[in-house]
């Protein structure tokens, strides 16, 4: 009735099915809105919790924004991100890792979400806040600048030049070669 159990990352995790997710949520693929639906009595231990939950949550947005910018919340006592729920709603399965094309972690429209790998997601990262040159993968030295790039778990040294513009060009060529998003480092 409440789904099956599976062992994931040494934590017991209830598997949400597409049927359960669609019973619990309304999702608008265009806007990315994920809202709670009325939940039947069978999902609650007591009549009071059934009434209380439905009064408090029905018609409201799922979850809240965490410090990293993602929308997260609990479903059947297990924490999920909104994109995880959306992937189950749309495809019936949990994604490996989720990439937000536009880098806006709270934009959960279906066209903005992509099931990817860790390496694939890294190819769409924004520029780090502690970046000192203004360009991802480019570093200042006493005699100029050097570039490097990481792809599929491997880091490649791209070269050292006295000209920042030359190093930027080398890095851009490497980003194209390794399939980085145009938005990477923006």
What are 147-178's pLDDT values in tens digits?
887 877 788 888 898 888 888 888 888 877 87
One domain, residues 102 and 144: no
Higher pLDDT pick, 123 / 28: 28
Number of domains forming the structure of the chain: 2
One domain, residues 112 and 134: no
Q: For residue 6, is pLDDT > 70?
A: no
One domain, residues 64 and 99: yes
Q: CA distances (Å), 129 to each of 5, 92, 132, 171, in order?
A: 40, 36, 9, 19
- Number of helices and strands (H, E) in the chain? 5, 12
* 144: in domain: yes
Through-space distance between the first and last CA atoms of the chain, rounded to whole angstroms: 46
Q: Determine the pLDDT at residue 118.
A: 65
Residue 101: pLDDT band (50, 70, 90) is confident
- For residue 165, with 0-12 CB atoms within 10 Å meaning exposed, 13-18 middle and 19 or more buried, which class applies? exposed
One domain, residues 103 and 31: yes
One domain, residues 98 and 46: yes
Q: Going by C-beta distance under 8 Å and a sequence separation of 6 or more, which residues neighbour residue 96?
A: 115, 116, 117, 118
* 26: in domain: yes
* 186: in domain: no
One domain, residues 106 and 138: no
One domain, residues 104 and 149: no
CATH number, domain at 50?
Answer: 3.90.75
One domain, residues 78 and 41: yes
Residue 181: pLDDT band (50, 70, 90) is low
Q: Going by C-beta distance under 8 Å and a sequence separation of 6 or more, which residues neighbour residue 28?
A: none
Does pTM surpass 0.75?
Answer: no
Range of the domain at 40: 5-116
One domain, residues 112 and 31: yes
Q: Determine the pLDDT at residue 183.
A: 63
Among 58-72, 157-171, 172-186, the minimum mean pLDDT is found in: 172-186
One domain, residues 26 and 106: yes
* 162: in domain: yes
Higher pLDDT pick, 55 / 98: 55
């Amino acid at each position: 009735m409440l789904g099956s159990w599976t062992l994931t990352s040494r934590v017991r995790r209830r598997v949400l099915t597409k049927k359960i997710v669609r019973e619990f949520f309304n999702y608008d693929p265009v806007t990315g809105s994920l809202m709670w639906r009325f939940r039947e009595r069978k999902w609650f231990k007591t009549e009071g919790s059934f009434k209380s939950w439905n009064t408090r949550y029905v018609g409201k947005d799922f979850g809240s924004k965490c410090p990293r910018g993602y929308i997260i919340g609990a479903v059947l006592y297990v924490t999920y991100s909104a994109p995880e729920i959306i992937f189950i709603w749309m495809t019936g399965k949990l994604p490996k890792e989720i990439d937000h094309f536009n880098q806006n972690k709270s934009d959960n429209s279906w066209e903005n979400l992509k099931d990817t790998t860790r390496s694939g997601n890294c190819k769409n990262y924004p520029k780090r806040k502690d970046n000192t040159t203004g360009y991802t993968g480019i570093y200042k030295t006493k005699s100029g600048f050097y570039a490097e790039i990481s792809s599929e778990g491997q880091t490649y040294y791209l070269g050292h030049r006295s000209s920042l513009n030359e190093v930027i060009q080398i890095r851009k060529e490497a980003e194209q070669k390794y399939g980085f998003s145009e938005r990477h480092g923006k």
